[in-house]
Amino acid sequence: MVRLLRRTGTRSTRPSGPRAPRAHRFRRAPASEGRQAEHHRQEERAPDAGPPTPGPLAGIWSALTGRSVAGQVFVLQVVIVLLLVLSAVVALLLQVRHDTTQEARHRSLAVAEAFANAPGTRDALSSPDPTAVLQPRAEAARKEAKVDFVVVMNTDGIRYTHPKPDRIGKKFVGTIEPALAGGTVIEEINGTLGRLVQAVVPVKAPDGKVVGLVSAGITTEHVGGAADRQLPLVLAAAAAGLLLATAGTALVSRRLLRQTHGLGPREMTRMYEHHDAVLHSVREGVIIVGGDGRLLLANDEAQRLLDLPSDAERRHVSELGLPPDTAALLASGRIATDEVHLVEDRLLAVNQRPTDLEGGPAGHVATLRDSTELRALSGKAEEARERLTLLYDAGVGVGTSLDVTRTAQELARLAVPRFADFATVDLFEEVLHGQEPEAGNELRRTAFSGIREDPPLYPVGDRIRFVATTPQAHSLGRGRAALEPRLGEAPGWLAQDFERTAQVVEYGIHSLITVPVRAGGVVLGAANFWRSQKPEPFDEEELALAEELVARAAVSIDNARRYTREHGMAVTLQRSLLPRKLPEQDALDIASRYLPAQAGVGGDWFDVLPLSGARVALVVGDVVGHGLHAAATMGRLRTAVHNFSALDLPPDELLGLLDELVGRIDQDEATEGGSAPVTGATCLYAIYDPASRRCAVARAGHPPPALIRPDGRVEFLDVPAGPPLGLGGLPFETAELELAEGSRLVLYTDGLVEDREHDIDAGLELLRTALAEAGPSPEDTCRAVLDARLPHRPSDDIALLVARTRTLTAGHVAQWEVPMDPAAVAEVRAAVTRQLAQWGLEELTFTTELILSELVTNAIRYGSSPIHVRVLRDRSLICEVFDAVSTSPHLRYATMTDEGGRGLFLVAQLAERWGTRYTPTGKVIWAEQPLS
């Protein structure tokens, strides 16, 4: 109910239907509100109101159109003026007509009597030709008297005179009987000259006998002229009246517009209706108190919240039965913001502001809000917000890695303590290894989180098989969440393990929600949420929240499971393709490391390949991409390097063959898949000879090798950078250098020196620093490099190979020059026998003599000088024969009748391995024998 300022009488009852308008008094709006009201008024202008006049004439136009009070007054004034003008004109016309008629009667009578009594008129009537005498006189009299006609007639009414001669001799139109009787006739008729007034008088003889008649007449349009003079004055007065009415209306309209801020009657009515509807519809109490502390207005909500009496209007607020502090606040008028007051059983938040700002009336307005209901609503809203936040955090905080265990732990940590006091995640054993789970198998407790660390729940790592009556078993079997509000009264759950479940209940855990971790149609395990501190058990709403929470986490757990399976397959494939152990050799002391990327295995590889002549080949390569495809391509390239290295090719030629192989792989993939080639690889190939301490290196798009000299200096070798494998068209170059004994050659892939934080140059400098601080052994070097350079989560594979050089001393090498003479073969056999005796290898004398005899004989017979022999004592006894011809011998089988052709066959049978390699000046035929 609203009680208004200066309203008398009892308070009216508000109907249940539409509210009746009330004459509320509102505070005058400031200028900004006036502009908003004007804008609102223009937007809601009635369609028939016409276009608004812009600028200051808008109010005047509104007034003149009659939509405002001033306009209605103006229209009334115009109507009154027009009525007065019309009345004046009618009265003027009537008066003029009356005056004109009277003047015409008097003038026509005077002229007729004067002419009838004029001398000679009576005599002319008795003359033989009255017309000849009277016509000139009558016309002269007519003109002199300014009448329209003077007619003289006989007693029969026959005209003797007339202004129109053709009418003479004709019957007079009019009444003559009274004149014949001696009287006078004055009448208004429509004569031949139009509407006229005429008088007929007799012409009498001396004896009184009527001897003739005289008639004079005048048309009414030739009489007067007063109307023509007075009518403009009347119209001018009317125009002046209209002008004054317009000016007055404009002044009144401007003042009304200023007072109403541009609002017309309809806008004012609509605004009042809106204000009244809003005032009684809001869920806040509104009261207005005057400057004297008396209540002026209270809306329905304020009546309800304050429980005001029915006669509260015009009473002082201290008399309304309010609490003292609330009454004091309302009476003081001080500014208050969300000040809480207890009124009966309600907590009201009171806001109070004065109304006399910007020239408003004295007093203040207060709004009342029931914070009791708001507190309950805000509690529900806060609870809903917290649940939405929990689900959002689950979306961004669970599944940050592709690790099943870590993802389950993230779910448990997220739920505690925001949703539960303890949380456990149990997954099938197969899920942890990336496999599809089988129903009925045991679960493993994978994750735990709680407000305390000592609950009597199964610890992480335990294998659990839930009995059929437990909520976990029901949840896993049906694929739906289960709620156990009171664990102490749940025999099915207690049957799992009577001793442990009793400890759980005694510990204070009293409520459980278990939700299956389900991805698609596969159940991966169960998530359990336990409550102990909050006395209320879990409810259905919390069950739905737990289902949503676990559903989001289940996707991440399943992704991690799938990744674990695929990653395990790729790692298994890759490790099967990498060397399981490094081959035994004495030329280099080698240590290696391989670390797959976190995002998936790649195509990095390394290899150590023993070659002929105690030489060793070092290989490091990198296939572009990750996954099974990269690992398979790496295996193909590693196999190809093994095969090509058996040909004893120099590094640049071997890389050329690899380049052709990668190009063919690209072509095959493009043909089969119909897409562009995707294979790309880099490779570095080095051959170290311990006898000469020479190292030949070539690279195809690979980072340069690092060299740690015996004194600890670190440098990156200047090896020409060839194009990556698969591009084709450009040759590769080999760089040769001599390495001091104890030098460490460091080969690596780009995953060690490149990452997102810096480029390769910065990575090389960091690697240089790590190598300079590394220990002397290859193992120490690998450890120091990975400790200093390994990223926390490498995005690319890392392959590292460190080789410390050794040399074959002069005591392990024997060599002789051989002349082009078959007799020199015996000298070679004798020298080798002596050397083997020095080395203590007498048991190998026979086979060695036979092998060298055959190889030297072939060199003398089919080769050219210079020829020399070298024997190396390493892990095996190596015999080498050098000559200057590049033609390679071929093993063939001689028939029974052949005299020769059995030399290489014998060598192949006696030696463990043999072969041919080419040098820039010729070739080397070599054979190896085991020492034990």
**Which contiguous run of DSSP H or E holds residue 771?**
helix 760-772
Task: State residue 124's pLDDT score.
Answer: 86
Give the lowest-confidence range in 303-307, 569-573, 690-694, 893-897. Answer: 893-897
Residue 569 pLDDT greater than 80, yes or no = no
Task: State residue 19's pLDDT score.
Answer: 41
What is the C-alpha separation between 908 and 854, in angstroms, rounded? 11
Range 794-822 average pLDDT: 88
Instruction: Tell me the pTM.
Output: 0.52
Residue 586 pLDDT greater than 60, yes or no = yes
Range 462-472 average pLDDT: 92
**Mean pLDDT comparison of 228-242, 398-412, 559-573, highest-scoring range:** 398-412
Q: What is the pLDDT of residues 177-216, one digit of tens each?
A: 888 888 888 888 876 666 788 889 998 888 888 889 999 8
Task: State residue 439's pLDDT score.
Answer: 74
Q: Which amino acid is at 235?
A: L
Q: Among residues 354, 504, 488, which one has the least CA distance to residue 421? A: 504
Residue 11 pLDDT greater than 60, yes or no = no
Residue 30 pLDDT greater than 50, yes or no = no
Task: State residue 616's pLDDT score.
Answer: 95
Residue 100 pLDDT greater than 80, yes or no = no
Residue 221 pLDDT greater than 50, yes or no = yes
- Please provide the distance, in angstroms rounded to a whole number, between the alpha carbons at the two ends of the chain: 117
Task: State residue 181's pLDDT score.
Answer: 85
What is the C-alpha separation between 607 and 621, in angstroms, rounded? 9
pLDDT band of residue 393 (cuts 50, 70, 90) is confident
**Which contiguous run of DSSP H or E holds residue 664?**
helix 651-673
Task: State residue 673's pLDDT score.
Answer: 53
**Mean pLDDT comparison of 253-262, 300-309, 416-425, highest-scoring range:** 416-425
Task: State residue 391's pLDDT score.
Answer: 86
Computed over every residue of the chain, the mean pLDDT equals 82
Whether a cis peptide bond, with omega within 30° of 0, leads into 710 is no
What is the C-alpha separation between 55 and 241, in angstroms, rounded? 27
Range 575-599 average pLDDT: 81
Give the lowest-confidence range in 344-348, 396-400, 521-525. Answer: 344-348
Percent of the chain with pLDDT over 70: 85
Range 222-249 average pLDDT: 71
Residue 57 pLDDT greater than 60, yes or no = no
What residues are paired with 218 via a beta bridge? 197
pLDDT band of residue 263 (cuts 50, 70, 90) is low
Range 552-565 average pLDDT: 89
Task: State residue 9's pLDDT score.
Answer: 37
Task: State residue 397's pLDDT score.
Answer: 87
Give the lowest-confidence range in 295-299, 462-466, 654-658, 787-791. Answer: 787-791
Task: State residue 611's pLDDT score.
Answer: 93
Task: State residue 191's pLDDT score.
Answer: 67
Q: What is the pLDDT of residues 496-513, one digit of tens each?
A: 999 999 999 999 999 999
**Which contiguous run of DSSP H or E holds residue 721?**
strand 721-722
pLDDT band of residue 655 (cuts 50, 70, 90) is very high
Residue 466 pLDDT greater than 80, yes or no = yes
Task: State residue 601's pLDDT score.
Answer: 65
The b/e string for 670-692 (b: 16+ C-beta within 10 A; e otherwise) is eeeeeeeebbbbbbbbbbbbbbe
pLDDT band of residue 153 (cuts 50, 70, 90) is very high
pLDDT band of residue 894 (cuts 50, 70, 90) is low
What is the C-alpha separation between 97 and 223, in angstroms, rounded? 9
Task: State residue 228's pLDDT score.
Answer: 62
Range 379-383 average pLDDT: 71
Range 106-120 average pLDDT: 86
Task: State residue 517's pLDDT score.
Answer: 94
Q: Among residues 751, 740, 752, 805, which one has the least CA distance to residue 778? A: 805
User: What does the block give as tokens for 263?
Assistant: 């609002």
What is the C-alpha separation between 50 and 61, in angstroms, rounded? 10
Task: State residue 657's pLDDT score.
Answer: 92
pLDDT band of residue 892 (cuts 50, 70, 90) is low
pLDDT band of residue 373 (cuts 50, 70, 90) is low
Q: Among residues 884, 885, 874, which one has the least CA distance to residue 928? A: 874
> How is 393-421 classified by DSSP, letter by letter?
HHHHHS-SSS-HHHHHHHHHHHHTTTT-S
